[in-house]
Structure 1
Amino acid sequence: MAHFLAFIKEKEAKLRNCYAETIHLESDEFVTMILLDSDFLIEFFMRSYRRALIIDDDPIFTQSGLGFLGIDIQDDLYLEENQLPLVILSELLDLAKTATSNGDIYEGISFMTVVHSWFSNHIYLQSIVAEDLIGVQFSKAKHLLDLIILCLHSLQPPPSGTESEFNYQNIPGEKELHRVGVQFKSGSYENPLDIKFYEGTLQILSFSLFDRTERFYRNLLIFEAMHVYPVKYFNDYVIIMSCFLVTPEDADLLIQNGIIGLGDSEKLSTVFRSLIKDCVKRSGFQYAKLVEALQSYRKLPTHGWMATLWQKHLNNPWAIISVVAAVILLLLTITQTVCSIIAL
């Protein structure tokens, strides 16, 4: 224990400088707090990574995954006020490898390794793991939230370079798009913030929205807003989703098309509108071209006519049969009339 306390003591000035506000704790109190919090987090991630470390009657983990207390801790991991510098967590784990006689459990393990494993079980962050972005961004990141934002940002296309004003009132809702024949499809996991529109189909990454998902989104959004990033990608994602999900009917459309997995449509329509309170509407909106394409598609009258035909008159097999029969009867009538005219 003394060995680890001495290690933290050496880093005290650097650690205090990691926090924006002055921490009014005596040196010994501060060092002990950092060590206890760091040890807890390392142990938490290690038990998630190596299930053999889970003890009987573990209050946090079960052999099948997180217990109820573990789920609460998972939520707290992403709170900005609970962040610890990644560098100290990484160095403490490395120190533990040399300080323990049971070094086999640490063989081939770094803090980056266990974080990589943790993210692979988080559906929203699987694309980060798949692209191996953690290895690229880990040394640059200050803490877990910063690591997530850096990885998400690195998946996005570079800024367009134009800072023209954007009219946010132009973003249509899902029900409005449905009326003009836009189809909805679940997108791939390559980029969770990527929304595509091609040949009348809007692709959005599928997700399930629980209370803890909303908290996770809010933590990312607030952290991104408070820090200097070249582009506020997550901010823009929340804005466009809040415009898509205006009513419960909008949410129902996404549920029916497999984009939203679980969730109450009444609540889903309010979640993003709640999150948008923490957003900044700015020039250089990253989905401006997408909205332009949607509006161009929406303005073509033929799309609305065809959508009305299919949704109101061809929405079941019997309706289709009736329309086909009517068309055949009309063709036969025309043919008979033409033949009668020729015979004259």
Structure 2
Amino acid sequence: MDNIEEHKSIDINKLATSLIEEFKKLHPLSDECCIYRAPQRRRQLNEGLYTPKVVSIGPLHHGREELKAMEEFKIRYLQDFLQRTKVSMEEFLTFIEDRETRLRNCYAETIKFGSDEFVKMILLDSVFLIEFSLRKSIGDKLKIGFDRIFTKPWMARTLADDMFLLENQLPLFILADLFDLAKREMHSNQLYEGLSMSKLTFDLWELMAEVLLIEDKLFEEHFPEAEHFLDLIRLCLQPSELGNQNGKLKTLSVPTITELHQAGVKFKLGSSNHLFDIRFKNGILEIPKCTIVDETEVLIANLQDLELLNGRSKNIIHYVVIMNYLVNSPKDVEVLAHKGIIENGLPDGEHVSTLFQKLQKEADIDSDNFYYSGLIEDLKAYCKSPWHNWKATLKQNYFNTPWASISVIAAVVLLILTVIQTVFSIINK
């Protein structure tokens, strides 16, 4: 018989006690949770889309060796920030300590730092974001002298990119509250006059807002309800009520731009200021301007994951899905670029079509509640119409140039004259 150790009796009471102790270690669930780690399956596709390159903001990447160089900048920014306000370091730290529980509840996982380290980190990171925004907005008024960040455009740009990563967020309420606290007691009352954290945030993201067709009034409107920077962008991108309506998606079979063109569909730069308001009416597909830049993939990927995790909307995911099917090849990109719909800041059209393909990977689609379901059905119905296909073929093959049109008309006239001559010849007989 095999040597098998006999089962020893266990101490049930001791085991039960140890499990009960585990209960005490559980992070309390809170409806204030709004900052998450990216899903592991998405991170495995491209870790670089979620990892900060220069600066850690908040606890999820705090202490990473490759980001420690920025910690000295945070101290310098805090020093300069405090010199403009009469509020003391102790008051700021106490202010954060009083909100420590609420701040911890904003994160989806247990933050294992002790209170001292946590409060210090929140102060340094919050003030860094505020001071960076101030220098971006009114740097000439601050008289700060030499700044190694803003004298290196690549560093300032990379920092701004790190600030909209899903895992690199701070709750907006603490930024707004700390800025208001500092603003109440200033050495120079005029310095921050007319400024608010919402105004500074728009100034910080002004170029990105232009790319995403976000008006400044939307930042002001959504700031009070936004949970962090990335969530603010998500809210500002919500489509207008006049756009498509969610409905059941029968099949995810969408004609490409090239196929739509062959069926006679015309393309027009959309007049809507909402990026997602793609509309189709009377054979014309209107698509708002889509500007593709180097930062597009990172921003859209992080917005997608925020939607997946907070469960409140899927508009960004749906936009990526519809654009992936419409813009399936460099030829599709070329057609839309010619119409001024796509402004491509990447090397070529293939990079754009590949970009949407990569973004759509692992996208979770609810077929019962898809924003573009009606649009897809209308496009498919138009393409199936024999009349539309015949008309498009006639136009593209025989009326595609002025000389071709003249040739066709001449041929038709010649045919008519021939018929008339034949008729008269028969009558004269």
Q: Same fold (TM over 0.5)?
A: yes
Q: Which amino acid aligns with 1:61?
A: F
Q: d(CA) in 2 for partners of 1:142 and 1:56? A: 33
Q: Does 1:271 align with 2:360?
A: no
- The equivalent position to 1:331 in structure 2, one of 416, 423, 426, is 416
- 3-state SS of 2:250 partner: coil
Equivalences for residues 42-57 of structure 1 within 5 A: 42-53=130-141, 57=146
- The equivalent position to 1:242 in structure 2, one of 315, 319, 324, is 324
**Which residue of the partner structure matches residue 211 of structure 1?**
294
1:18 deviates by 1.2
Q: d(CA) in 1 for partners of 2:195 and 2:358? A: 40
**Which residue of the partner structure matches residue 30 of structure 1?**
118
- The equivalent position to 1:178 in structure 2, one of 240, 245, 261, is 261
Q: Does 1:123 align with 2:206?
A: no
Q: d(CA) in 1 for partners of 2:384 and 2:308? A: 34
- Kindly indicate whether the alpha-carbon contact (under 8 Å) linking 2:133 and 2:200 is maintained by their aligned counterparts in 1: yes
1:93 deviates by 0.7
**Which residue of the partner structure matches residue 142 of structure 1?**
227
Q: Does 1:72 align with 2:154?
A: no
- Kindly indicate whether the alpha-carbon contact (under 8 Å) linking 2:255 and 2:325 is maintained by their aligned counterparts in 1: yes
1:221 deviates by 0.6
When residues 223 and 161 of structure 1 are mapped into structure 2, their CA distance, relative to the original with a 3 A threshold, is: closer
Give TM-score scaled by structure 2 length: 0.73
- The equivalent position to 1:81 in structure 2, one of 161, 164, 167, is 167
- The equivalent position to 2:384 in structure 1, one of 286, 296, 299, is 299
Percent of aligned positions with the same letter in both sequences? 43
Q: Which amino acid aligns with 2:122?
A: I
- Kindly indicate whether the alpha-carbon contact (under 8 Å) linking 2:234 and 2:303 is maintained by their aligned counterparts in 1: yes
Q: d(CA) in 2 for partners of 1:300 and 1:207? A: 29
Q: d(CA) in 2 for partners of 1:284 and 1:142? A: 25
- Kindly indicate whether the alpha-carbon contact (under 8 Å) linking 2:246 and 2:370 is maintained by their aligned counterparts in 1: no
- Larger radius of gyration between Structure 1 and Structure 2: 2
When residues 265 and 25 of structure 1 are mapped into structure 2, their CA distance, relative to the original with a 3 A threshold, is: same
- Kindly indicate whether the alpha-carbon contact (under 8 Å) linking 2:264 and 2:392 is maintained by their aligned counterparts in 1: yes
When residues 6 and 126 of structure 1 are mapped into structure 2, their CA distance, relative to the original with a 3 A threshold, is: same
Mean Cα deviation higher: 274-283 or 287-296: 274-283
1:154 deviates by 6.1
Q: d(CA) in 2 for partners of 1:166 and 1:153? A: 24
Structure 1, unpaired ranges of 5+: none
Q: Does 1:153 align with 2:238?
A: yes
CA RMSD of the aligned region, Å? 2.2
1:56 deviates by 5.3
When residues 300 and 165 of structure 1 are mapped into structure 2, their CA distance, relative to the original with a 3 A threshold, is: closer
**Which residue of the partner structure matches residue 98 of structure 2?**
10
- Kindly indicate whether the alpha-carbon contact (under 8 Å) linking 1:119 and 1:125 is maintained by their aligned counterparts in 2: no
